[in-house]
Amino acid sequence: MVRGGVSVVATVLAAALLAGCSADPSAAAGRLAVEAYVEPGTHAGTRVTDAGGRASTIGIDGVTLAEDGASLLDPPEGTAALARTATRAGSTPELLLSNYSSDLGDFSPEIGTALLSSADHRTAVAEELARRARALGMRGVQIDLESLRARDRAGLTAFARTLTDAVHRRLGRGAGVSIAVMASTSAAGFLDTGYDLRRLTRYVDRVVLMTYDEHGPWSGAGTIGSLPWAERVVRAAEAQGVPRGRIDLGIAGYGYVWGGAHDGEQVTPAQAAKLAGEHAKWSARDGEWSARLRDGTRLHWSGARSYRARTALATELRLHGVALWSLNLQALPRD
């Protein structure tokens, strides 16, 4: 659309740059923005190329904190190559920072606290992350600190502020800083897991709600992230001061198995469908697939049809966009 010889998209982008916010062409054009996450590995580049033109952002996982919370470990081999692939495909590459521990096989609360409880650590990591992002060819960063505790709230907000300053200095005022947030359906839930959303939104451009893992191997069998539950998470975040236009709805591209030979395993949608066979059932209410096999094994999974149900929900709720985890497990579905 053109008004007075200047495109509306260009006008919005210029205004965003002047305001110090990241430019988002999808949002400027009134489209639902799409982030697709990916980890370096076999076929990752192909999946990123395939997603180009449809994924506005490719979130690359990424770099992890050292155990002392004061520095970063080296990124996985192939991280820079994925950033180049994303850029060539027309997507914005974004570098994820996590407190994942390979020793635990999970996110580490202790590593998160080691970073967030120290002003010196926050400054050192923010500066190092911004330098790494620039050297790797990224155009934004995402905070993915999970399994935090209430004691970490103030430190997380302070880190977001420090990181935003560092990213804007190193990558430019148009570079984005976002945060992935574990899902909760109440204010207390967000606060207890370290997220003061009202304050965090002062320093980040987007809040990605991880509306998946509603159930998993740690719980009884159930939905991966049902539509009614996802909507409750969105409304809880909005009640804590996050504008809908800055929320991305997380979408799972995987499933879990309870019982049988594959008990506790995460499976791709293709694997789940193969295991389920004729027992697969679609729930319009939940927007997911499930199956109960003759031996009592139960499966729940989120696939391409689930993705479309969630993009419809995000559009209905007038959210900024959606975020798929991950391209390694499922190619980005086409409309």
pLDDT (tens digit, 9 = 90+) per residue, 50-95? Answer: 999 899 999 999 999 999 999 999 999 999 999 999 999 999 999 9
Q: What is the pLDDT of residue 252?
A: 98
Q: What percent of the chain has pLDDT over 70?
A: 91
Quick one: how far is CA 248 from the chain centroid? Answer: 8
Contact by Cβ (8 Å): 267, 256: yes
Q: How confident is the model at residue 16 (pLDDT cuts 50, 70, 90)?
A: very low
**pLDDT tops 50 at residue 143:** yes
Give the residue extent of every domain in the chain.
Answer: 26-254+302-325
Which is more confidently placed, 296 or 5? 296
Which is more confidently placed, 1 or 158? 158
Mean pLDDT of the chain: 92
User: Cα separations (Å) of 58 from 42, 45, 324?
Assistant: 16, 11, 10
Q: DSSP for 34-59? A: EEEEE-SSTTHHHHHHHHTTT-SEEE
Global pTM value: 0.91
**pLDDT tops 70 at residue 23:** no
The number of beta carbons lying within 10 Å of the beta carbon of residue 2 is: 9
Q: How confident is the model at residue 139 (pLDDT cuts 50, 70, 90)?
A: very high
Q: What is the pLDDT of residue 47?
A: 98
Q: What is the pLDDT of residue 31?
A: 87
Q: What is the pLDDT of residue 17?
A: 33
Q: Which 3 state secondary structure label does DSSP give 265?
A: coil
> What is the 8-class DSSP label of residue 261?
G
What is d(CA 213, CA 84) in angstroms, rounded to the nearest whole number? Answer: 31
**pLDDT tops 80 at residue 98:** yes
Q: What is the pLDDT of residue 24?
A: 58
Contact by Cβ (8 Å): 106, 100: yes
**pLDDT tops 60 at residue 14:** no
Strand 247-252, strand 206-210: pairing = parallel
- pLDDT per position as a tens digit, 227-241: 999 999 999 999 999
Q: Is the dihedral of CA 323, 242, 152, 194 positive or negative?
A: negative
Q: Which 3 state secondary structure label does DSSP give 22?
A: coil
For 8-17, 164-173, 194-203, 245-254, which range has the lowest pLDDT when averaged over its residues? 8-17
- Return left, alpha or beta for 163; rule: phi > 0 is left, psi -120 to 50 is alpha, else beta: alpha
What is d(CA 310, CA 220) in angstroms, rounded to the nearest whole number? Answer: 23
User: Cα separations (Å) of 253 from 71, 270, 324?
Assistant: 31, 10, 7
The number of beta carbons lying within 10 Å of the beta carbon of residue 22 is: 27
What is d(CA 26, CA 88) in angstroms, rounded to the nearest whole number? Answer: 17
Q: What is the pLDDT of residue 29?
A: 52
Report cis status (omega within 30 of 0) of the bond before 62: yes
Q: How confident is the model at residue 26 (pLDDT cuts 50, 70, 90)?
A: low
Q: Is the dihedral of CA 78, 80, 84, 87 positive or negative?
A: positive
What is d(CA 283, CA 49) in angstroms, rounded to the nearest whole number? Answer: 31
pLDDT, average across residues 108-115: 98
Which segments of the chain does DSSP mark as H helices, in order?
8-19, 25-28, 44-51, 79-88, 109-116, 119-135, 153-171, 187-192, 197-200, 227-239, 269-276, 304-316
- What homologous superfamily does CATH list for 26-254+302-325? Glycosidases (3.20.20.80)
